Structure formats: C-alpha cells, structure tokens
Structure 1
Amino acid sequence: MRKVTIVGTGAIGASWTALYLARGFNVVATDPAPNAETDLRRFIDSAWATLEVLGLSPNASRDHLEFTRDMKQALADTDFVQESGPERQLLKVKLFADIDAATPPDSIIASSSSGLTMSIIQSRCRHPERCVIGHPFNPPHMIPLVEVVAGTKTSPETVQRALSFYRSIGKKAIHVRKEMVGHVANRIQGALYREVVYLIEQGVLGVADADAAVCWGPGLRWGVMGPNMLFHLGGGQGGIQHFMDHLSGPVSTWWKDLGTITEMTPRIKRTIIDGVLKEAGDRSIEELERERDTVLLQLLAARAQAEHAVQPDLLDVADRIP
C-alpha cells in the first residue's frame, strides 16, 4: 500500500494524516469544511517535531500531502481509506456507501468510528467485505492502539490485511472478535469514568483528587502492563492462580458496591466543569497538550528502551517538541 486517503480532517483525521505522512505514504485528504486544508496543514506542522522524535520513515515528507474537496478524486486509485467523519450514524452509512462506490474494489476502507458498529456502517455498501473498523486512540500519531473490528459482511481476509497494515506502520493493532457498541478500549475507559463520576457525585473526593487517584496510581502501572498481567504479579510467587484463589473474592465484593450512575445530571456536569477549570488553572489547552505530549513521548521512549528498540538520546525529549 502506497496511497492513503483520509476522509474527514478533524482532530482524528488530521492526526492520522500526520502519522501516514511520517510513515512515508502519499496521502490525499478530503473534507468539505471551509478552513479544512489550512487547519490540517497547521496541525501537521505542529505535530511534525513530535513525529521526528518518535522516528520518521525514510520517505517521510509533509510534501506528500495533497488536499482536495472532491472526495471522488481523493479516492481514485487509493490503496487504503481512513474515514474519520462525524460520529453520526445516518451520515456515516451514506458516507461509506459513497466511499465504497468511488474506490477500487481491492482497497480497504477503515472507519475511525469510536462507537458505531461496522455492520451498521457497511449496510449500504456494494463491497462490504472490504470494510472494517480501524479505531485509534487520540491522538493517533502518538498513541499506538488501533482496534480492528469486522462487520457481519467483512471478510476474514480484510481483517488480517488491516491488522498487518496497521502493525507494519508501528501501531499496536488488536483484533476485537465481537462487535460491541464502543468497541473495547472506550468501554473500559467508560467503565472507569462512570465510577470516577459516581465518586465525585457522592462527595468522596474532588475532581483534581480523582484525576490524581488514576494517573498517579493504577494509571502509571497500566502504562507498563495490562490489568491481567498486573494481577499476575499481584499474586506474588503464586501468580495469577494465587490471585484468583485468594484475591478475586474481595474484587468481586468491590464490583457489587460500584456506582450505578447512568447519566450526567446538570449538577454533576457543573461540578466537573468547575473542578477541571480549577485544576487546569491558567494553563491553556495548547500548554496542556504540550504537557501531555511531552510525558507521552517520555513514556513511549521508556517502553521502547525496555524492548531494546530505541536510541539512548530518544529519552531526552522534553525540549524537542514545540
């Protein structure tokens, strides 16, 4: 695959575009918004220093980007489509049908949809067998995870091709074997956040302390290993067997006491908004993004070093992004 088409250049589409350019692809992007091209090129310029730290492929170049408002033109002769349009079901179904009609039949059409199922999205496509979910975590040019999910009409070959393609560009692609609304990572994230909101709503702790409880506790460990492997270590010398035999009972007790909050009331929305703004202080969104990206780069570099796949100077990244 050499030509990638990005349909929709909002936050997710722009981040995908930057990544594909950094991996040496020819990228054609399309979006009907009036300032789409200007905003896209500005984002790529801003993200490029970060991508340089992460490592550029030999053919990487921002000059390999072409922008057009003509979606049919953008899709002509493409090898891979990364759709990142608005998360609205009717729009997405029509958009996929239009993309399907305009692309070569052997190309793959992947959707960045964060929650819709591919069975619905592909329902009006003439070639649904080459349509698949390729859901990233934001920002895609930095966070490695991609969830690959088939629809009922997606071929097994397409799933394997998509997994291989994403892995070839350095993504941690996982195969979600069963369709569920929200896929997997967002469901996990949503379950955690529901309990966070419940604890705040119950007055157990404030917004800033809730954030601290996650990022300075389990969040640090989750950046190293997943919960199953961590509980294997939590079982001591007996490993996961000891954990299941002796510690799974207390965990089950916690489950029974978890919050059952099912909606964001106006009061809890206001509490969280006020708490977040107080926690952010005078730091702008741009400053907070830089703080996030600097720490993410350091974490990614540490992970890569642990896997013996990074140059030592990659760890010194704090002053190398704008």
Structure 2
Amino acid sequence: MSVLQSQVDLRPYNTLAVSEQAEHLLVVENERQLLAAVQLASRNNWPLTLLGGGSNLVLAGPVAGLVVLMRSRGRRVLSRSSSMVVVEAAAGENWHNFVRWSLDLGLSGLENLSLIPGTVGAAPVQNIGAYGVEVKDVFVSLDALDRHTGAVVSFSLAECGFAYRDSCFKRAPGRYVILRVRFRLSLRPYINVEYAPLAAAWQATGLQSPDSRVVSELVCAIRRDKLPDPAVLPNAGSFFKNPLVSQAAADALLLRHPGMPHFPQPDGLCKLAAGWLIEQAGWKGFRRGDVGVHQAQALVLVNYGMARGSEILALAADIAAEVQQRFGVVLEQEPPLLGTLRA
C-alpha cells in the first residue's frame, strides 16, 4: 500500500479534469492492501470513497475522508467447456485492456463494450452498456466486501439487480467494495451488430463470417469518431441517460417530431435518444465559460479548462429544464456526484 497522502488534488484522477481536494488518499494494488485501507478508514471514522478510472463521476466539491485509488490487477480463466469460458478479473483492471485480453484468447461477448473507460470493478455498478450489449448479458458473479458486516460475499446475476445503467451497488453507495468480477464468454464467434452505425460499418467490411476482433475495432472507430478523448478534451462520456417513456408518450411526441429516434422496449416502454432531444433544443456546441456541450455529440459535456463541478452541474440543469419544457421528457444525469457540493 502506498504512503497515506493528505490534501491531494484529484484533477489527474477524474476524466472531467475537475480540480478538488481529497482529504486523504491511498493507492491500493491488491486485495490485502484494499482491506487494510478499509480498516484504516473505519478506525478513523473516515468516509470511504473508491475511485477507479474516474470516468463516470462529477466532482462537486472537496472529498472528505479517505479516497482509495483502485489499482488491483489480475486476470485468469476459471473454467472452460466446449463452447463457453468463464473468466475473472480484479476490480482495478482497466476495462478496455480486459476486453482486449479476452479477444486475444479468442473469446466473444465483450467486443461491443470496447473502449469504454474505467475499471472492471466499476462496470457492474453502472451495468455499463454500448451498441446493444450490457454487462449483465455476460455477467456470472462477483465478490465484494460488505462494509456493514466485514464479510466477503458473492453476488449472482439475479442478486445484482441489474437495470438500465443501474444495479444494487449503485442503489447502496458505500456499502460494498467490489473485489473481483466473473464473466461467461463464448468460444464460438458470434456478433451483435443490430445498432445501426455498427451494422453499416460491419456491412462495409464485406465479411461473411463472425469476427469479434473486427467488431471491436469497428466499435473503437465509432466511439473515437463520436466521443471526444478525455485526455484531449476532458469529459465524462454520456452525461444523461437515454430516457424511458410510455409508448403513448412516445407516440404523442412522434406526431410532432416524426423523425425522432425511438426504440420500443420489451417491457412496453420506449427509449428515446437523449442526445437528439438536447440537440433539437439547441444546445449542441454551446459553451459557457470553461464548460460546454461537445460540438459533435450533444450528450457529452466537456471541460475546456478549469471548470468547477458546480458550473458543469448548472449547465446540465439548464439543459434538462429546457428539454423538459420542450418535450415533456425528464433527463436523468448518468454520472454520480462526488464530494461536498459547493454553494
């Protein structure tokens, strides 16, 4: 475990590049160090915050207590059948590197989730998803430390309570520390290219046989074209969830906006494209001081310099208010807040 640091600037540890202070900070590289950090926080009665890639959060103010940077590593094959393989990865593993490792083993299932920033441990919390695939689709189980009991417990697929960008871990923040996650992947190549831009890119290759590595490369190309690189222009990816509305509400909107993207869901609801709604409301490319809406993707808020979390949240609130006024649709912020909100 690293040396305990105090009053550490978290700007390098969040992809929105917001500058806020952590009261205390530790870097942990394995499970033993992580458990020691949790015990240290408990002994001192410090709030505990786990930070992986820092790619899905908004720093709204200074962070009290102990911030733990998750840097645990480890990937392995647990079991193999004639068609499936179960793999496990430590919570601190970089997600995209883990996806690439699975492809190197000839496994299919994670390719649509390529180039998503963050760590393996954060993936089930958010039930990350892209281009027609979510973590829950390949999830087997995970182990987590229950901070209420001090025991390490396992969670099955059903016990995680996965929903759209949601899980039981997100609904009980601070209680569980995810240690390792297991996935079931396929030895037999198959592809999911139902998402329109991905389908077009796949068709353009002319390939007739499934090739997961090619799909991964196409996904990476689409993401790079659509989303700004946080290392170049700080951002937290999609800032709003795609809203779910009743089919009746969607039909009413379609009468006024026939070209509105809409995606009927198995449960009878209809998913709308938040980016389209924001763009139609005139916010695409908008800038206010150091915070703005990306010029190519209205779903992404960016930090052009030294924007504060409060400035980012204020812009997000204005966007959501206008979308609700124009369309009657409520937008929900995707990245959670971290830190004591500044007045």
- Normalization by structure 2: what TM-score? 0.28
Higher helix share: 1
Higher RCO (Cα < 8 Å, 6 or more apart): 2
TM-score normalized by the length of structure 1: 0.29
